[in-house]
Structure 1
Amino acid sequence: MSDELKKGLEGVLVAESELSYIDGDEGQLVYRGYTIEDLAREASYEEVLYLLWHGELPTEAELEAFEAEMAAERSVDDAVLETVRDLAESDEVPMAALRTAVSELSAFDEDADEETDPTDREANLAKGKRITAKIPTIIAAFTRIRDGEEPVAPREDLSHAGNFLYMLNDEEPDDVMEDVFDQALVLHADHGLNASTFSAMVTSSTLADLHSAVTSAVGTLGGSLHGGANQNVMEMLKEVDESEKDPVQWVEDALERGDRVAGFGHRVYNVKDPRAKILSEQSEELGEAAGDTKWYEMSVAIEEYMAEEKGLAPNVDFYSATTYYQMGIPVDIYTPIFAMSRVGGWIAHVLEQYDDNRLIRPRARYVGPTDQEFTSVDER
């Protein structure tokens, strides 16, 4: 057994997966053999969920049934909604509120009985539909209550993306908004063994239940080095705008101070994140539709400078930030929206883990003191 230290498990192979493939040198992302470009432009989020969970794209009849099953699970129990209300009124951080609410969902899930086999695939698919369908309801309710408004009940006649925007704003989104948001959900649905996905796998490897695994993943995604990056990008761009400086000059000043520029660099990609390419187009389209492309133009100027001067390319967070902002989505729920999408990938990876489970148990190299002599407490 090798004693080579791999901090952060970088480059360590720990599993085989049929779900997603990333080529960081070529800038490619593939879900079950389909390029992210094709899926984002041609498939709905519901189709991608079906693909990840079942291994193939659905037929028209299968998709219609799947959409109906998901839509029927959107409502949350009153007790969960009360918890969400309490958390919103106490100014809880959105991701912490989501983590708590997701955990509570298990108390009202008919397939979450303690005696149920945690690896039962059909039971987990049923639980997965419920969790995925209810997370948007939780996020929208939390946001509205916090902002002094009452939650909007979900509707079953809207798409997953359209229903969330409806619950958030109390009005149906136009086709452009719905399509752009649906694309964003597809782009974020899975991405290999990222930190939150891996935490879900570690939890499920102990034969803990699906709700526990997803709760672990939500907690992991809440960290600023993972899911919080797009919020950091938008806060940076707003600071640039408020400074009234040229964006390039602002970045030069920031780098001179030793500050990081949010939204650049990635643990996997050595070139531009393919998801960023698609979202940059959406950001431009939204700006043109609104008659104000300043956020897009600012982003492009920063991207070009960072590429020329630092050799760094933008990641998905860089353009998802302005895309969401131009849709009127509050900045501090960007990460919960990330979770709303990525839960599909988390569940798919947990299903794979259960199918061929082995407890995930790495080792650490001990570097502490040795040969200590114990003394009784009265002699210390």
Structure 2
Amino acid sequence: MIKEGLDGIVTAQSTISLVDGEKGLLVYRGHWAEETAKTKTFEEVTYLLWNNHFPTNAQLTDFQKKMKQQRILTPSDETILGSLPDSMDMMSVIRTVLSSKGNKHFNWSSTIEQGIKITSIIPTIIAYRHRTLNGLDPVKPDPKYDHVANYLYMLNGREPKESHVKALTAYLVLTMEHGMNASTFTARVISSTQSDLVSAVTGAIGAMKGPLHGGAPSGVIDLLQNIGTVENAENHLRHLLEKGEKLMGFGHRVYKTVDPRARALKEITTDLAEDDPWFELANQVERIAIKLLKEYKPGRKLHTNVEFYAAAILKALALPTELFTAIFTMSRVVGWIANVFEQNDNNRIIRPSSLYIGPMPN
């Protein structure tokens, strides 16, 4: 039997993550992803996914130090960034700069040090490129900030609000890893040929760039902006449903119940609602939308997905929509690298078959 797109085909055994769409579960190496997002830093969860355990205090300090050391662009990086046309999209920019780092020191024996080098530099690339395109001087990384706070600092040029760091950290942790998705599969296929880590990551970026995979939650932002206030929410949502339109941010291909990532982000944004009215609007719109979806589409199991609260967070942080997929990449690169490590530990080249249905020669 042919499974178009390999839908439902198991291609590997993995200890990295469990994605259970029927039960609404997401597990990272034996830990609930929801809890890690609420209680752990970006660096701690990265360490978990790459090492199969959380770091001790000493291990975390060493890991953070190494990540901070790799944040800084080299003169070669800056030369490449300066030579790229303004019309090049951010995903292509990241891919190009990372590709230039694929020197002789990167080979099939991928290491955590290589993973640190790749993961740490991506936020700097994004911030540097965004500021220079907008006529602003680049902001150098500041070692007093952790990975997420430093990104916001480099992007905006000012000390980030603690609530914003907390919300963005939760989003990035919850999108680090999500099973055998298109970009992760791409990374594993490339690594299975005994290619290097840079090649695997840049290939994964190419897959992530496609709108069917790494599409930004800008549709949710449009929905919330069009609603404007809680008082307008029910009438606006009813109007959309009566026209047969989809409510952006609700329903998911994998999750047939509540998306656990949305559940965790909801809790975090509820805690932050007093600090930012945008969070309060999102929380109230979700409540009304769920009620109306049960009324208009009974039995469809349409629940809030991660894009809904991702949009709320990214909008509250005033992050430009053109950076959304790149920010997703800042996170998912951790999962790609974890999967490359796992592929290399028990490698067999990935080579599925195809069925020829064309004509035969006479």
Whether the aligned pair in 1 keeps the contact of 2:241 and 2:296 (CA below 8 Å) is: no
In 2, distance between residues paired with 1:308 and 1:195? 34
Q: Which residue of 1 aligns with 2:321?
A: 331
Amino acid in structure 2 at the alignment position of 1:160: H
Match of 1:43 among 40, 44, 57: 40
d(CA) in 1 for partners of 2:46, 2:307: 21
Match of 1:99 in 2: 95
What residue identity is the alignment partner of 1:265? Answer: G
Q: Is the counterpart of residue 220 in structure 1 residue 207 in structure 2?
A: yes
Mark the CA change 1:350 to 1:264 in structure 2 (over 3 Å): closer, same or farther: same
Report how far residue 30 of structure 1 moved.
0.6
Aligned match of 1:305 in 278, 285, 292?
A: 292
Structure 1: runs of 5 or more not aligned: 374-380
Higher alpha-carbon Rg = 1
One-letter amino acid matched to 1:22: V
Q: How does 1:199-218 map to 2 (within 5 A)?
A: 199-218=186-205
Q: 1:76 to 1:308 in 2, by over 3 A?
A: farther
Q: Normalized against structure 2, the TM-score is what?
A: 0.91
Question: Which residue number in structure 2 is paired with residue 376 of structure 1?
Answer: none
The Cα shift of 1:134 comes to 0.2
1:16 to 7, 13, 16: 13
Unaligned runs of 5+ in 2: none
- CA, structure 1 residues 307+15, in 2 after alignment: closer, same or farther (shift >3 Å)? farther
Give 2:116's aligned amino acid: K
Partner residue of 2:306? 316
Find out whether 1:360 has 2:344 as its counterpart.
no
Residue in structure 2 matching 1:111, options 96, 105, 111: 105
Q: CA deviation at 1:83?
A: 2.7
Shift, 1:45, TM fit: 1.1
Q: Does 1:231 find its partner at 2:218?
A: yes
Measured in 2, the distance between the counterparts of 1:368 and 1:349 equals 36
The residue number in structure 1 matching 2:262 is 276
* One-letter amino acid matched to 2:331: S
Shift of 1:253: 4.8
- Please tell me whether residue 143 in structure 1 is matched to residue 133 in structure 2: no
- Cα distance between partner residues in 2 of 1:142 and 1:131: 17
Are 2:66 and 1:69 aligned?
A: yes
Q: Distance in 2 between matches of 1:268 and 1:25?
A: 8
Percent identity reads 39
Q: Matches of 1:235 and 1:25 in 2, distance apart?
A: 29
What aligned pairs does 1:341-380 form with structure 2 within 5 A after superposition?
A: 341-371=331-361, 373=362
Written as runs of structure 1 = structure 2, the 5 A alignment for 1:127-138 is 127-138=114-125
- 1:181 aligns to what? 168
Relative to 1, partners in 2 of residues 1:258 and 1:79: Cα closer, same or farther, differing over 3 Å? farther
Give me the whole-angstrom Cα distance separating, in 2, the residues matched to 1:308 and 1:221.
35
Q: State how far apart, in whole Å, the 2-side matches of 1:351 and 1:226 are.
A: 22
Output the CA distance in 2 between the equivalents of 1:91 and 1:237.
29
CA RMSD of the aligned region, Å? 2.2
TM-superposition CA deviations, 1:169-203 (whole Å, max 9, x none): 11121222212211111111111111111111111
SS in 1 for 2:217: helix
| 1:148 match: secondary structure | coil
Shift of 1:353: 0.6
Alpha-carbon displacement from aligned partner over 1:139-176 (angstroms, at most 9, x marks no partner): 11121122221211112221011110110111121222
Secondary structure class of the residue paired with 1:22:
strand
* In 1, Cα distance between equivalents of 2:40 and 2:295: 34
Contact in 2 for aligned 1:229/1:263 (Cα 8 Å): no
Write the deviation string for residues 209-238 of structure 1: whole angstroms up to 9, x where unpaired: 100110111111112222114233223433
What are the superposed Cα offsets for residues 16-51 of structure 1, whole Å, 9 maximum, x if unpaired? 001001221221111000001221122111111111
Which residue of 28, 45, 49 corresponds with 1:52? Answer: 49
CA separation of 1:288 and 1:199: change in aligned 2, threshold 3 A? same
Amino acid at match of 1:332: E
SS of 2:212's equivalent? coil
Alpha-carbon distance between aligned partners in 2 of 1:49 and 1:275, rounded to the nearest angstrom? 17
**Separation in 2 of the partners of 1:333 and 1:31?**
26
Conservation of the 8 A alpha-carbon contact between 1:32 and 1:52: yes
Structure 1 contact 98–139 (Cα < 8 Å) conserved: yes
Structure 1 pair 47–361 and aligned structure 2 pair: CA distance change class (3 A): same
Task: Report if the CA contact (8 A) 1:94-1:333 is conserved.
Answer: yes
2:68 pairs with 1:81:
no
Deviation at 1:136, TM superposition (A): 0.5
| Cα distance in structure 1, aligned partners of 2:83 and 2:241 | 41
Contact 2:176–2:331 (CA under 8 A) maintained in structure 1: yes
Secondary structure of the structure 2 residue equivalent to 1:289: coil
Work out the CA distance in 2 between the residues paired with 1:252 and 1:223.
Answer: 32
8 Å contact from structure 1 (residues 231, 335) kept in 2? no
